[in-house]
Structure 1
Amino acid sequence: MTKITNSPDPDSTSPRYRYILPFTTSVYRSVAPPPRPPTPGFLHKVGGSDVPSSAPFTYEVSEAAGTKTVSKDTGSPTSSLAVVIKAGSRYQPLPGLSHALEHFAFKSTLKRSALFITREVELMGGVLETSLSRENIVYKARFLRGDLPYFAELLGDVVTKTKLIPYEYNERVIPTMENEVNIAYSNPSYVALEAAHASAYHHGLGLDKLSVVRKDFGVEEIAAFAGAAFNQSNLAVVGSGVPHAELNKYTTEFFADVPAGETLKTHAPTYYGGESRAWSKAGNSVVIAFPGSAGGPAFKAELSILSYILGGQSTIKWSSGNSLLGKVVEKYPGVTAVSKNITYSDTGLFYVAVEGPAPSLVKALPDVVNAIKGVSSITAEDLKRAIQNAKFDFYTAAEENALSLESIGQSIIATGKIPQVQESIKALESVTLDSVKKAASTILAGKAAVGAVGDLHILPYASDIGLNV
């Protein structure tokens, strides 16, 4: 982020700019899209056999002019590039700042208007996306393989030269933020998971991800937060389907204005447990959460496997499957239950989300809790099924250029390391029945964090279904 202006002209370079962040040093220069080379094939001949053009699951890690870079080259005809910035909601000094900063992506910069960005990217067949999590803001581009120079320059432009213009904030950013909040908070499942986070962590990770309670701030406060967050300690450039040498070359050229700086601080995660309940006429959802596994090198494979043993989301069409939760929900039409583990840089949240009509949830929730407690009686077949499903999903995420870029960037920012795919697969394969049972016993011995949303006149309390909060 760079300049703030009151001018209605997004291309203005007049003295009416009022705020300039320290790393804004470049002047305008037109960057034409480079000529697109022929798209390479997926495979090439080596010793008479067809093999991938590079090791598709091996990430290369380095620095380019002080900026962390990570990439893998699958040899595919499409590529993805993401700038992962440690500026998620747990790090914001005011509620809503991260949300606003994310929504300023691809607005006017010193080099381009928002309209010009749209026209350029559409002409090149590219896709621009953003996402916000409790950990990160992610700016992402997906494009044809030969267009890496252009999209690296564009993302560098967005990160270091976006103009924070008051009229864009008032007329474009705030309305889209409010619309996103309205959509999210009309979904009981989303609200229940947010409530479980609040019960689990209180501060930091427990705060709302979106701008639900937006303090009275403007572009000045957004610029100050961007100035603190957008530096080499909090940022990584992650590519998939791109040669690492080329990624380093263009990162050096187009991210040269990203300054050195200090990493953002936040509350150390302390797990509390507890219960939060909210009325909703839109539907019913209950999230039962426990301490989970962090991501990166601290990843605990047994908790990931535990989520697959509980399962709930069948991989077979028209079947509820044989997972523990799958066997529960097939008895209650209209009820769904799924288990997941959210990984953060220094902790995780393991949870089961249950949805359905309130009268059915009253009956299903005790069985869901018994299924969680019943992990102590799982069989070798249950474990094998869970490991295979986990491996399939892990490989699928690694194959897809646009998937898992945030988690890779998050790991390299937090620890300077990333677990290679094959290392993670070996960790999954090494999980035993005893380790899964021990992990389940450990989380059940503590307090649950429960979020219940819906018809509170009917939905049971945590103590009613055998949970300790």
Structure 2
Amino acid sequence: MLAARRASIAATSSVASSTRRSFASATVDGVQLAALDSKTQIASLAFVVKAGSRYAAAPGVAHALERFAFQNTKTRSALRVTREAEFLGASLTPSLSRDAIVLEADFLKEDLPYFFEVLADSFARPHLARHELAEVVAPLLKFDSSAAAADAAVSAVEALHLAAYRRGLGLPLYAQPVDSISAKTVAEYKDLVYTKANLAIVGAGVSLDQLKPLVADFLEDAVAGTASAVPASSFFAGDVRVSSTAGSALALGHASPYAPELAVLAALLGGVPSIKWSYGSSLLATATQGKAVASLSNYAGSSLFKIVVNADSAAETSAATKAAAAALKSVASSGVSSEDLKKAIAQAKFSAVAALEGKPGLTATGLSLLTAGTIPDIASSVSAIGSVSADKVKAAAEAIVKKIAVGAVGKVSELPYADELF
């Protein structure tokens, strides 16, 4: 009965994937565009800029530039932007990752020209005044960095990136109190990265024909520039340890080029329950009772496989870390059963599709256009995950246990070192 049901679902999925609508793309005046039209009344628009923290020569400057989004520009004030967005019933959201700064708007379809202009203003015509940095942006930077420091798990992931990459992807995502950030350094960084060559505009609920004329209308004065080269990423093993009173957490990881078996291994180890209020039945859920989660972060040129452990005390975090390491070692030594592999592949497929569709898909599509020049192929990604074998998962686990990086935060005297785990 279950086998027949699975076969029916697989057949339905095959038909669905063959008829799924995908983004259409074009290049207009040096700007890469992608759009996925739909019958919904709500539209989303994202300006994806290759300007994340890995590109910043001065630590914290990418964070500052992101926080200048939707502040005063040369054509409208921040108050005006806020009032008009509220009047039109829309939302504006800036975000920062290691790869990109994203300026995003969600609005009713008929308001596309207005919100395209608002995003274009923040991209091409920001004011970046000194008083605005001191009075508005700097407090936001302090709030963000304080909030991150108050979360031991977030701090551990930041420490893991530093241990794994050192520079580039290892640079901190958030501005630190020791960083020297001036309006001049922000303006210099803006001039370097806010160029048409570094910009991809991705829309959902809109068409390419609607976006194309808006580029000429509102981005005519944007700097053409040259595309920023993606910094090379080397993987370094070792430890970064940060004493903190925010709690204790540990993140262990291994960086390498993306491979679908890494996504399957992350799903196999798991840790995130499929049902609320349940630990689930994954390897990490069983071994650590919900205290550890495995995941895969994909960047341009590198992927970081990581396990993040966070418990109520340093002693519990240490015990859960050792249990998580033992679960990973068991895969490296004994492999994975066929039933567990099928389950992990299904979960990895879901995660891959979820990352490329809906709102997360706007950023993923923009980054793919900027770094690879193509729209992400969901069918190919799912197919690659589906072809992963047990031997490939075992080999991926073997490579990870041979060389890991660790970011430890909290009462670090009680937390294990990398060479004590494997």
TM-score by length of 1: 0.82
Would the alpha carbon gap of residues 396 and 145 (structure 1) be closer, same or farther in structure 2, given more than 3 Å must change?
Answer: farther
Partner residue in 1 for 2:11: none
Q: 2:298 aligns with which of 311, 326, 343?
A: 343
Structure 1 residue 409: Cα displacement: 1.2
Aligned counterparts of 2:209 and 2:21: Cα–Cα separation in 1: 17
Aligned counterparts of 1:215 and 1:278: Cα–Cα separation in 2: 18
Q: 1:414 aligns with which of 367, 371, 383?
A: 371
Aligned counterparts of 2:370 and 2:38: Cα–Cα separation in 1: 23
- Which one has a bigger Cα radius of gyration? 1
CA contact (8 A) 1:59 1:420 kept: no
Matched residue SS, 1:163: coil
Partner residue in 2 for 1:379: 337
Aligned counterparts of 1:76 and 1:146: Cα–Cα separation in 2: 12
Trace 1:76-87 onto structure 2 (pairs within 5 A): 76-87=40-51
CA contact (8 A) 1:56 1:73 kept: no
Partner residue in 2 for 1:310: 269
Q: Count residues in correspondence.
A: 404
Would the alpha carbon gap of residues 457 and 435 (structure 1) be closer, same or farther in structure 2, given more than 3 Å must change?
Answer: closer
Deviations 1:344-396 (A, max 9, x none): 11111110001102222232222211111222431111111122222333334
Aligned counterparts of 2:109 and 2:234: Cα–Cα separation in 1: 43
Would the alpha carbon gap of residues 266 and 430 (structure 1) be closer, same or farther in structure 2, given more than 3 Å must change?
Answer: closer
Matched residue SS, 1:233: helix
Would the alpha carbon gap of residues 444 and 460 (structure 1) be closer, same or farther in structure 2, given more than 3 Å must change?
Answer: closer
Aligned counterparts of 1:419 and 1:248: Cα–Cα separation in 2: 21
2:264 paired with 1:328: no
2:238 paired with 1:274: yes
Structure 1 residue 257: Cα displacement: 2.1
Aligned counterparts of 1:220 and 1:463: Cα–Cα separation in 2: 44
Partner residue in 1 for 2:408: 452
Aligned counterparts of 2:203 and 2:29: Cα–Cα separation in 1: 17
Matched residue SS, 1:62: strand
Q: Comparing both structures, which one devotes a greater share of its residues to helix?
A: 2
Aligned counterparts of 1:224 and 1:214: Cα–Cα separation in 2: 20
Matched residue SS, 2:242: strand
CA contact (8 A) 1:87 1:98 kept: yes
Would the alpha carbon gap of residues 327 and 292 (structure 1) be closer, same or farther in structure 2, given more than 3 Å must change?
Answer: farther
2:372 paired with 1:404: no
Matched residue SS, 1:393: helix
CA contact (8 A) 2:23 2:35 kept: yes
Aligned counterparts of 1:212 and 1:451: Cα–Cα separation in 2: 17
Q: 1:355 aligns with which of 291, 305, 310?
A: 310
For 1:68, the aligned partner's letter is Q
Partner residue in 1 for 2:421: 465
Matched residue SS, 1:70: strand
Partner residue in 1 for 2:214: 250
Partner residue in 2 for 1:139: 103
Aligned counterparts of 1:198 and 1:423: Cα–Cα separation in 2: 32
For 2:398, the aligned partner's letter is S
| Deviating 4+ runs (over 4 angstroms) | 54-57
CA contact (8 A) 1:288 1:449 kept: yes
Aligned counterparts of 1:189 and 1:57: Cα–Cα separation in 2: 37
Matched residue SS, 1:164: coil
Would the alpha carbon gap of residues 424 and 323 (structure 1) be closer, same or farther in structure 2, given more than 3 Å must change?
Answer: same
Aligned counterparts of 2:304 and 2:286: Cα–Cα separation in 1: 24
2:249 paired with 1:291: no
2:326 paired with 1:367: no
Structure 1 residue 265: Cα displacement: 3.9
Would the alpha carbon gap of residues 179 and 342 (structure 1) be closer, same or farther in structure 2, given more than 3 Å must change?
Answer: same
Identical columns (%) = 37
CA contact (8 A) 2:251 2:407 kept: yes
CA contact (8 A) 1:55 1:74 kept: no
Aligned counterparts of 1:397 and 1:449: Cα–Cα separation in 2: 25
Aligned counterparts of 1:65 and 1:110: Cα–Cα separation in 2: 22
Structure 1 residue 464: Cα displacement: 2.6
Partner residue in 1 for 2:8: none
Aligned counterparts of 1:325 and 1:457: Cα–Cα separation in 2: 24
CA contact (8 A) 2:292 2:321 kept: no
The two structures, once aligned, show a CA RMSD in angstroms of 2.0
Aligned counterparts of 1:55 and 1:146: Cα–Cα separation in 2: 27
Structure 1 residue 62: Cα displacement: 1.2
Matched residue SS, 1:249: helix
Partner residue in 1 for 2:12: none
Aligned counterparts of 1:128 and 1:293: Cα–Cα separation in 2: 34
Q: 1:127 aligns with which of 67, 76, 91?
A: 91
CA contact (8 A) 1:293 1:350 kept: no
CA contact (8 A) 1:56 1:74 kept: no
Matched residue SS, 2:160: helix
For 1:187, the aligned partner's letter is D
Partner residue in 2 for 1:163: 127
Matched residue SS, 1:69: strand
Structure 1 residue 438: Cα displacement: 2.1
Unaligned runs of 5+ in 1: 1-50, 295-299
For 1:231, the aligned partner's letter is T
For 2:297, the aligned partner's letter is I
Structure 1 residue 427: Cα displacement: 1.9
Trace 1:204-243 onto structure 2 (pairs within 5 A): 204-243=168-207
More off after superposition, 387-396 vs 112-121: 387-396
Unaligned runs of 5+ in 2: 1-14
